[in-house]
Structure 1
Amino acid sequence: MRPQRRLIAAIAAVVLVAVVLLIVAVNSAYQPVLTPITNIQYSQSKAVKGFTGSSHETSNPARIAAFTAIISKYSVDVTHFDQTLNDVCTGGLATDITLGFADAKTATLRVYDCGRTVPRGTFVSDSSALFTRWRAQDDA
């Protein structure tokens, strides 16, 4: 093999390895391991006259699965919730959530939603919408 061909082959090998490493890194993105959720307590509050801030609790498997799907979709570690995921505003919708896990541990998080529209959604907007639907059903 001539030196020029060796150089081209070496460069091609390096590029191929870099592409493979990039694909592996993207496909193995951080996914928090979550002990199964056994119950969810939640309440919502908003600075609006007549808004009910009643507290609710559910251990319904379908509801837990729906919230777990949102957690997984956005790869959120609910045991160490990143407050920077919240919208920044005043007068938005606050959702206080306490999760009970199968290992008897709990996690508490507060989600603030200002109602901004994001085409693909966010953890905050999707979970706020979910808990708003549950609250409406539970208050009916």
Structure 2
Amino acid sequence: MAFSFFKKNSSDHADPESMWTALRSLDQWEQIVKKSHDTPQLIFKHSTRCGVSRMVLREFEREWQGDHPCYYLDLLAHRDVSNAIAESTGVLHQSPQIIILKEGKAIYDASHQSISAQESLAKIEIAINAQ
């Protein structure tokens, strides 16, 4: 199933059928960290001005087969959130970048062409099965 973040919508979701929930605030980031104690959380950090980031995002959306929580962070609009993520996870900022959280810690990260929906799903499943 393919989704596109590029369809505009004023709700917290990019598109009513989209896999993404927009990550827009530090309070929301703190809630994601808390939720990660129950189930892994995936964050996709994206630069809307970067062609590579756009290409990787589209490929990720085409490949994604999961129903796990997925958050999309527009780095240019929410740099403070991106900085907080880097600081609290210890994962050096890159764009595009995937970070998977479990129990408040980054258990997996990938950037640029290393980002893979299948690999992300595999890491999430491993984290779930390890509980």
TM-score in terms of structure 1 length: 0.25
If asked which structure has higher relative contact order (CA below 8 Å, sep 6+), I would say 2
Higher Cα radius of gyration? 1
TM-score in terms of structure 2 length: 0.26
More helix by percentage: 1
